[in-house]
Structure 1
Amino acid sequence: MKQLTAEQRNEVKRQMAIYSQGVQEIIPSEELEKKVATSILENRPLKIKLGLDPSAPDVHLGHTVVLNKLRQFQENGHMIQLIIGDFTGKIGDPTGKSVARKQLTDEEVQHNAKTYFEQFAKIIDMSKVELHYNSKWLSKLNFEDVIQLAGKITVARLLERDDFEERIAFGKPISLHEFFYPLMQGYDSVELECDIELGGTDQHFNILMGRHFQEKFGKEKQVALLMPLLEGLDGVEKMSKSKKNYIGIDESPQEMYGKAMSIPDELMMKYFELVTDCTPEQIQMIKDEVNTGKLHPRDAKMLFSKTIVRMYHGQEAAEKAEQHFVSVFQQRTLPDEIPVVEWQGMTEISIIDLLMALNMFTSKSEARRMIENRGVKLNGNKVEDTQLQVTVTNDLIVQVGKRKFVKIKI
């Protein structure tokens, strides 16, 4: 390989700083640097793989940790390979599961994949993505091919998976088809000759299968970039919709901003690194200013909240969300103690029915008159339409007049 010029060496260093930001583990780091250098010398983009089993199509900030890393590679001219596991999805990734996962139908896979693409477009340029469905090659393997593939890995190696070890220890069954999931994910990398595969730390075993099978098939081995799992708003559990500690990228600007302000202070810089589009230099400056006391942690959190809203809703929406937060929460236009009502009704409901369900009026006509007189607010915003359909969300604050408040808990 030709020697790099000083300018090219600086470019390798610049890209490596970006790709290393927030990464839990690079396996191995020296191979990543070599691949980046070769890419620059040969003016050839690297192939960056992300495999998806579209089983839960609602994207939250935890999912964007890997997507933001993809965006960084894409911005430097590399090719993103999104692999939709329409074949592997019928099996289900056993990672972290104490029982076998439900197998998806073709219809479920296609529906979920479409939802993914719509949300991914907010983070990466989908027009510059190679899109693959792994049924294209996996469905063509005959039984002899599958036997040969299985012959390239030992049972002992497959049983090294933590989740399989735990299930054996507790006497829980492992179906034979579950062993084939990492084999198929590894074979995807062989088929597409991937240079780098991204995933969370929980995908460590599956991604290393790609390196293993590429070597067995005489291919250049991919590098594994493992991203940390993002703690949710509780600061403890992994971000998850089921644990209700998440920020969805499709949530309203106000909801997104307000949730972001509840992130624990000690996780703030991790969130900056993993889910924003801030450069390493910008993040380091924020960190230094917080450490020296030049920037108050609350102001850093407001900067983060505004950044997140700007990324998914635009600058104007970010400005308005911040103004709303300052008005309602910092200037204390709401009382300190607000009655909380547990909501078990519909998520979509008319404003008048909502007010009646919350016992804020004794009649619908009374509620209608109050709305017409601009005396009803939702999260500080005046309601002007008596026909308004309300999406009931967690921590929605309903205000009637100047003194009557209710906070909804779902």
Structure 2
Amino acid sequence: MSEVVQENKEKFVLTESQKQEVERQLAIIRRGVMEIIPEEELRRKLERFVVTGQPLKVKLGLDPSAPDIHVGHTVVLQKMRQFQELGHTIQLLIGDYTGRIGDPTGKSETRKQLTEEQVKVNAQSYVEQFGKVLDADRITVHYNSTWLAPLTFENVLELAAKTTVARMLERDDFQKRYNNNLPISVHEFFYPLMQGYDSVALECDIELGGTDQKFNLLMGRNLQKEYGQEPQVIITMPLLEGLDGVQKMSKSLGNYIGVNEAPNEIYGKAMSVPDELMLRYYELATDISNEELEALRNGLADGSIHPRDAKMNLAKTFVRMFHGEEAAQEAENYFKTVFQQRALPTDIPEVTVDLSAYENGEANIVNLAFDLKLVASKGDARRMVQQGAVKVNEEKVDDINRTVKLEDGMVVQVGKRKFAKVKLS
């Protein structure tokens, strides 16, 4: 049996194997997504692909507003990787022009605009870090200044005429600010228009983004219709909860796993992922297959896989993805040695301490932790001591007024992963 599919007045005849390939790709694409708008159009695009061999153009647009990415950012990158492996073209759109405005999504006030130099530095950092998830050799990178910068004022007016103020105020953040008499700068209305015009310029078939980007993504679909193009399909991905299990992952909240962090730090942080979120992290932020994910889900449900083992594998997977197989094995060995066997690591960094700088050769524990650079501030040091998270030669110190005698070779530990060995001079 075969079936006829009509797309853009062209008729395609699908064989059984081609229909199976469409279903296989749909199953992979559906994994972890919040919405596909509309899914039937995605199916037709995939049917066209398996018959003609013409890859779909899949766009991910990002404003380079911060130089470092974390695991939460990789949720959409993992979906892009899946499209990449299915044979489609990845369009990585760096919003070097829109980045000068700043996306107002979710903001209660106008965002500070980035300078051109800040945008360039952050954009380069993004591209380098994306290579940890995507095959960098099979990415087409675009900068939207290429087509936005040359627009004349007449072009801008033509673009602005494609939508209305009422439509813009449908955005939740704009609506809240308007109702609360908070300022909305006119230039902020141009952000979704510019992002939508990116889809017109790239003639993309599919655009990905977080759930908070839905309005902007739909704007691209509408503008493509206005410019006589086949509209893109929208795929929204959920926002990943951070290590606290409540708030979305964010550097400002400190509940994140950074892609560029040291292997031992990534492994240790991943081990603190709440048990109830472990499968969600696997599904959204790792490269394991659907079959492996289902086997893991079933194993945890029937007790054949211990949650601790699953979490250790999650931690190892993250390190492997970002730093390679060797680093992943070393991080696992380090964790087993330090935390499971309660032994001190063998590679504790030495920190030289000038004994003459301390009265009577003794140091307050708060000052010592700060001087050894085990904490970012003395305030952090006090909190860690009060929480019982500071040890000297494996003995807990929980009094912020405690002084310790400085000795050559003494080991100070803060938290689970930070150590320093004192070298007196």
Equivalent residue runs for 1:10-409 within 5 Å: 10-333=20-343, 351-353=351-353, 362=362, 401=393, 403=395, 405-407=412-414
Once the 2 structures are TM-superposed, how far is the Cα of residue 356 of structure 1 from its aligned partner?
10
How many Å separate the matches in 2 of 1:122 and 1:276?
A: 12
Give 3-state SS (helix, strand or coil) of 2:197's partner: helix
Once the 2 structures are TM-superposed, how far is the Cα of residue 357 of structure 1 from its aligned partner?
9.9
Cα deviation 1:26-65 (Å, max 9, x = unaligned): 1111111111111111111110111111011201000000
Give 3-state SS (helix, strand or coil) of 2:235's partner: strand
Give the match for residue 6 of structure 2: none
Give the match for residue 385 of structure 1: none
How many Å separate the matches in 2 of 1:284 and 1:226?
A: 22
| 8 Å Cα contact 1:356-1:362 kept in structure 2 | no
How many Å separate the matches in 1 of 2:177 and 2:97?
A: 24
How many Å separate the matches in 1 of 2:355 and 2:26?
A: 55
Once the 2 structures are TM-superposed, how far is the Cα of residue 221 of structure 1 from its aligned partner?
0.4
How many Å separate the matches in 1 of 2:208 and 2:259?
A: 20
How many Å separate the matches in 2 of 1:351 and 1:320?
A: 23
| 8 Å Cα contact 1:195-1:223 kept in structure 2 | yes
TM-score by length of 2: 0.82
TM-score by length of 1: 0.85
Once the 2 structures are TM-superposed, how far is the Cα of residue 309 of structure 1 from its aligned partner?
0.9
Cα deviation 1:165-212 (Å, max 9, x = unaligned): 111122110001100100111111011100000110000000000100
Once the 2 structures are TM-superposed, how far is the Cα of residue 235 of structure 1 from its aligned partner?
0.4
Cα deviation 1:244-270 (Å, max 9, x = unaligned): 000001111111111001011111111
| 8 Å Cα contact 2:12-2:48 kept in structure 1 | no
How many Å separate the matches in 2 of 1:278 and 1:356?
A: 55
Cα deviation 1:325-379 (Å, max 9, x = unaligned): 1222222337xxxxxxxxxxxxxx97224999999x649xxxxxxxxxxxxxx9x
How many Å separate the matches in 1 of 2:358 and 2:241?
A: 33
- The CA RMSD over aligned residues, in Å, is 2.7
How many Å separate the matches in 1 of 2:294 and 2:354?
A: 46
- Decide which moves more: 278-287 or 4-13: 4-13
Once the 2 structures are TM-superposed, how far is the Cα of residue 391 of structure 1 from its aligned partner?
7.7
How many Å separate the matches in 2 of 1:45 and 1:282?
A: 27
Number of positions where the alignment pairs a residue of Structure 1 with one of Structure 2: 372
How many Å separate the matches in 2 of 1:392 and 1:11?
A: 53
| 8 Å Cα contact 1:91-1:181 kept in structure 2 | yes
| 8 Å Cα contact 1:350-1:390 kept in structure 2 | no
Give the match for residue 366 of structure 2: none
Give 3-state SS (helix, strand or coil) of 1:131's partner: strand
How many Å separate the matches in 2 of 1:6 and 1:167?
A: 53
Once the 2 structures are TM-superposed, how far is the Cα of residue 86 of structure 1 from its aligned partner?
1.5
Task: State the AA in 2 paired with 1:319.
Answer: Q
How many Å separate the matches in 2 of 1:354 and 1:101?
A: 46
Distance 1:254 1:149, change over 3 A: same
Give 3-state SS (helix, strand or coil) of 1:130's partner: strand
Task: State the AA in 2 paired with 1:406.
Answer: Q
